[in-house]
Structures are given as structure tokens and as C-alpha cells.
Structure 1
Amino acid sequence: MAEHAQYEELIRQFSAFGAVRREMGRILPSDCPSGSAAVLTLLGRHGDMRMSKLAELLAVDMSVTSRHVAHVAERGWIERFPDPADKRSRILHLTPAGRDRMDELTRRTCDMLAERLSDWTDDEVGQLTQLMTRLRASFDDCRTAHPEPRPPTAPVLERSTDRSTRTPANTT
């Protein structure tokens, strides 16, 4: 296991990486902020999906996801179709215009990375990619292995015996 000082340096590097992300965000067109770019990228990578799956992949609240989806839908980059399995839900689909926008964003980002990492070897870029993938997987493992504790529920003082109109109280 790494020494405490190594973790402190890692914290500093994470903080500094925020500047890298902000600079990468500056190359995005004004009509496509980072949340919209993430929606396009995930639909391009994973294909059609429900909003709930997109929110999970974005790791943000459904209300935030809805705003991002509305933004890209207004621009014609995605379409929302009724889910045949559940008409209340919508399936998100990348349009040809959305794929073009995603391709443009990918090109811009790749060009920037190629420029900034021009003095890196292919092996170094590969190592960084592997380590970042592993880091992300470690955090995904933490989320599923240790779910956030739920707040305790208030004790139930009275329970109805009429089971026909009431649901049982949550006892977990």
C-alpha cells in the first residue's frame, strides 16, 4: 500500500487536473457545453438508452440529466422515442447531426491531446490510459461495494390494520 505522503501528492495532482479539464472544456463550441458533450459521447459509445441509464452513466441526478438531454434535443442532436416496454419512458437516440457533432468534438479533443502530449511516447500515453481506466474502475467498485448509508427511518408509532388501502411501513 502507498505511503500517506503519496496519497497527499495524488490529492494535489487531482486538484491540478481540474485545470486540464477546464482547458479541455474551453475547446468545446459555445452551443455544446461539457454536459451536452458527455450525453453525445455516451450515446455514441453505448447506443440508444433510457434517461435513467444515462443518468447512471453520467453519475448525476435525473434533473441534471434532463437539462442536458433537453439541450441536445433542442439542437436536433438526439431524438426521444417512447420506450416500447414502458410508454412513460423515453429511449434516447443519437441523430446523424448528433453523430456529426460528437465526431467534431472527438476530433477537437484528440487534436488538443496530440498537441499537448506530443513529447510523450505511445507507451506513456497507453500507460496513462490504463492507469486512468483502473482508477475509474476502483471508484466504480467503491460505489457498488459500499453504498451510501440510508438515513434512519422515523419509527412507526401506529400501524393501520386496514391492509387494503395502505402500504406497509418501511421497517428497514
Structure 2
Amino acid sequence: MTASPDDPDSGAPAAAFSRVDDPDLDQAITRVEQELGRLFARIRISWRDAAMTVHPDLQPLGYQVLTSIATGKATSAGAIIERLQTDKSAVSRQVRQLEQLGLVESIRDPDDRRARVLVATELAQEKVALARSRYEARLGERLSRWSADDLDLFADLLADLGG
């Protein structure tokens, strides 16, 4: 089976694809790929910093698990695994640590008394709010230098890229 640009899951590096016959466009695409890599690295650093804000022993994945629970977007281990696209053992370790740190509790599901759901404690809600406000302040500071039109265009381009 040969890799093609139409098959992003083929495992072939993006740079291996001959995208266009225009070297300027090819160079611009390469630059976007590099900048996305830098952005993802900065996002990982932000998760690490946010985790440290919540608790010095918390790992970035633990922070992601906690925010999934705190926002109500994932309140069971299965939902967290699906949302974060990670394995069961990693989620189990993180949930156990969050419980030990007093940040998460497992309670009976009010809709199905046989099941259990994970809820963030009041302490967790406060710590997550602090971490989010710090992140939003840093991001807001950078983005406030852009015009509203540039921000709208950027948001549209990101949506199209993720689409």
C-alpha cells in the first residue's frame, strides 16, 4: 500500500508528499507544519503549567482528565478515554491520583444507581478556574494585539484546517 496525501493515517511523513508543483506554496505549507509543531509544544507546556497550578504532583494528562470531569464533558472513565483518546490504564492511574489529592470523587450516578460518576470537588473547581484564568490571560494578551478581522480570519482558518 502506498502512502498518499489523501490518507493522513498512512504513517508517511507529510513532507514526503509532493503536494504541489509550486515551490513557494510547498515551502509555505512546510512552514505551517513547523509552526503547528511549535504551537502544539507550547500547548503541552501550558498543560504542564496548569497541572502545576492545580497541584505540584499533577501530570498534564491528570489535568486534562480533571478538566474533562470538572466541565462535565466526561464523568466516567469510558467517557474520559473516548474524549482524550488515551488508554484505560493511564486514565485509571490519573483518576486514582486525583481522588488521592482530594480533587475528584466517585459518586453514585443519580440517573442509574448501579453506575458511578466522577465529580470534581470544590477545591478542584477553584484550582481549575485559577489555571484557566492564567492561561486565558496569557492567550488574551497575545491575541489582543490582533485586529478583530484578523482574529475572525484566524478562527475561520483553524476551523477549516480542523474540518
Question: Same fold by TM (over 0.5)?
Answer: yes
Residue among 49, 57, 71 paired with 1:27 = 49
Normalised by the length of structure 1, the TM-score is 0.63
- Does structure 2 conserve the Cα–Cα contact (< 8 Å) formed by 1:51 and 1:90? no
Residue among 45, 58, 62 paired with 1:36 = 62
- Which residue identity is paired with 2:104? I
Normalised by the length of structure 2, the TM-score is 0.66
Matched, 1:9 2:31: yes
Unaligned runs of 5+ in 1: 139-172
- Which residue identity is paired with 1:17? L
- Which protein is richer in helix relative to its size? 2
Residue pairs, 1:7-86, within 5 angstroms: 7-28=29-50, 29=52, 30-46=56-72, 49-83=75-109, 85=112
Deviation at 1:135, TM superposition (A): 3.9
Query: Could you say what the CA RMSD is over the residues aligned between the two structures, in angstroms?
Result: 2.8
Deviation at 1:131, TM superposition (A): 3.9
Identity of aligned residues (%): 22
State the SS of the aligned residue for 2:86.
coil
Change (3 A) 1:98 1:75: same
Change (3 A) 1:50 1:11: same
Deviation at 1:26, TM superposition (A): 4.9
Cα distance in 1, alignment partners of residues 146 and 127 from structure 2: 28
Unaligned runs of 5+ in 2: 1-18
- Which residue identity is paired with 2:43? R
State the SS of the aligned residue for 1:92.
strand
Question: Number of paired residues?
Answer: 135
Cα distance in 1, alignment partners of residues 135 and 29 from structure 2: 29
Cα distance in 1, alignment partners of residues 151 and 67 from structure 2: 21
Residue pairs, 1:144-159, within 5 angstroms: none
